[in-house]
Amino acid sequence: MPARTPLDANAILAATEEILRRHGPDKATVVDVARALGVSHAAVYKHFPSKQALREAVTRRWLDRNRDALAVIAADSAVPPAQRLRTWLHAVLAVKQAKIREDPELFAAYGILAAAHSSVATDHVADLLGQLTAIIADGAADGSLRTDDAEATARVVFNATAKFNHLAHAAEWQNPGIGAELDEVCGLLLEGLHAPTSP
C-alpha cells in the first residue's frame, strides 16, 4: 500500500527536521522518521543511502538558510565595507545564538556533524569565508581596507574571530559580555586593516 503522499526527498527532510526538533539528535532514528511518514524505514533508504546522509541533508538545508540570511548583509553595498565587516561578524554570532535558543536540538545535530568532519561543516565554513572575502574585496576596491589578498585576509579575520563563530565556543555565547568582546576584537582588526601600508 503506497503512502498517502508520494514520499519525496523533501517530505523526508521535513519529517526528519521535525523529529529532530522534538526528540533531539540522539533519539532521532530513521525508524521514527519512517513511522512519522507512515512508511517502513526501508523506504527512507531508497532516498538516502544512510542515516548519516539524511542527517547531513537536513543540516545542510538548515545551514543554507543561515548562509542566505548572512549573504544579504555581506552584499549590502549601501554600508561601507569596514562597518559591514563588523555588522556581518556580529550577525554570524547572533544567528548562531538565536539558533541555540530556538532549535537547540538542530544546533546540537550540527555540532555532531561538525565534530565528525562532515563536508557539510567545511562547506558551510567555505560559504562564510566567501562572504567575508567579498566584504574585504569591496573594502580593497574602495580603498577603505588595506589587503594584498582578500581571500587570505578573510581567513585571518575568520581565525581571529574563531571564538565568536566556531561551534566549539557555543557554550560561551550565552555569556552576556560576548557581544562587547567581539566588538573589541573587531576594533583591533579594523585598526590593522586600516593601517597605512606598514612602517
Partner DNA sequence: CAAGTTACAAATTTTGACATCTGTTACCAA
Partner DNA sequence: TTGGTAACAGATGTCAAAATTTGTAACTTG
Q: Which residues bind a second copy (CB under 8 A)?
A: 152-153, 155-157, 159-163, 166, 168-169, 181, 184-185, 187-195, 198-199
Q: Is 177 in the site for DNA (CB under 7 A)?
A: no
Residue 194 binds which one of DNA, a second copy, none, with CB within 5 to 8 A depending on kind? Answer: a second copy
Residue 181 binds which one of a second copy, DNA, none, with CB within 5 to 8 A depending on kind? Answer: a second copy
Which residue's CB is nearer to a second copy, number 102 or number 183?
A: 183
Residue from 17, 32, 56, 105 that binds DNA (CB under 7 A)? 32
The answer to whether the beta carbons of residues 30 and 54 sit under 8 Å apart is yes
CA distances from 77 to 23, 57, 82, 139, 163 (A): 42, 32, 11, 10, 27
* b/e map 18-32, b = 16+ CB within 10 Å: ebbeeeebeebebeb
Helices (H) and strands (E) in the chain, counts: 10, 0
User: Contacts with DNA in 50-89 (CB under 7 A)?
Assistant: 50-52
Residue from 19, 39, 135, 157 that binds DNA (CB under 7 A)? 39
Of the candidates 186, 168, 37, the one whose C-alpha atom is nearest the C-alpha of residue 115 is: 168
Of the candidates 54, 139, 52, 62, the one whose C-alpha atom is nearest the C-alpha of residue 98 is: 62
Minimal distance, residue 99 CB to DNA, in Å: 23
Q: Is 46 in the site for DNA (CB under 7 A)?
A: yes
* Distance of alpha carbon 167 from alpha carbon 165, whole angstroms: 6
Where on the chain is the footprint of DNA (CB under 7 A)? Answer: 1-3, 6-7, 26-27, 29-32, 38-43, 45-47, 49-52
